[in-house]
Amino acid sequence: MSGRLSRRGLLKSAAAAAAVSRAGSLFGQQPIASGPFQPTWESLKQYRTPEWFRDVKFGIWAHWSAQCVPEHGDWYARKMYMQGDDTYDFHVKNYGHPSEFGFMQLDHLWKVDQWQPEQLMQLYQAAGAKYFFALANHHDNFDNYDSTYHSWNSTRIGPKRDIIGEWRRVAKAHGMRFGVSNHSSHAWHWFQTAYGYDAIGPKANVRYDAYTLTKADGNGKWWQGYDPQELYSGRNLVIPDGINTIAAQRAWHDAHDGKWHEEDPPENPQFAQHWAMRTRDLFDKYEPDLVYFDDEEIPLGQKGLDVTAHFYNSSIARNGSQQGVIFAKKPTPEHAGAFTLDIERSRSTEILAEPWQTDTCIGDWHYDRRIFEQHRYKTPEVVIAMLIDVISKNGNLLLSIPVRGNGAIDEDEHAFLQALASWVPQHGEAIYGTRPYDVYGEGPPEPITKDFSEKTRPHTAEDIRFTRKGDMLYAFVLAWPMDGTVRIKTLRRGGEHALPRPVQRVDLIGATAPLNFQQTGEALVVTVPPDKPNPYAYVLKIQS
Between CA 12 and CA 19, with CA 15 as vertex, the angle to 5 degrees is: 150
Q: Cα–Cα distance between 446 and 454 in angstroms, integer?
A: 10
Domain boundaries of the chain, sorted by first residue:
7-189+263-344, 441-543
Query: What is the sign of the dihedral through the CA atoms of 155, 156, 159 and 160?
Result: positive
The angle, 0 to 180 degrees and rounded to 10, between the axes of the packed helices 301-319 and 7-23 is 130
Please report the pLDDT score of residue 15 as a whole number. Answer: 38
Domain 441-543 is found in CATH 2.60.40.1180 = yes
Q: Give the burial string for 79-91 (b: 16+ CB within 10 Å, else e).
A: bbbbbebebbebb
CA atoms within 13 A on the CB side of 124: 33
CA distances (Å), 171 to each of 125, 179, 265, 399, in order?
Answer: 9, 10, 35, 16
Please report the pLDDT score of residue 29 as a whole number. Answer: 65
DSSP 410: -
Whether the full predicted model's pTM is greater than 0.75, yes or no, is: yes
In the chain, which stretches have pLDDT less than 70? 1-29
Q: Cα–Cα distance between 284 and 446 in angstroms, integer?
A: 41
Burial group, residue 483, by CB count within 10 angstroms (0-12, 13-18, 19+): exposed
Do the domains at 7-189+263-344 and 441-543 have one common CATH topology? no
pLDDT tens track for 96-114? 999 999 999 999 999 999 9
CATH of domain 7-189+263-344: 3.20.20.80
Give the total residue count for the chain: 544
Phi, psi (deg, nearest 5) at residue 363 = -140, -130
Please report the pLDDT score of residue 345 as a whole number. Answer: 96
pLDDT tens track for 463-515? 999 999 999 999 999 999 999 999 999 999 999 999 999 999 999 999 999 99
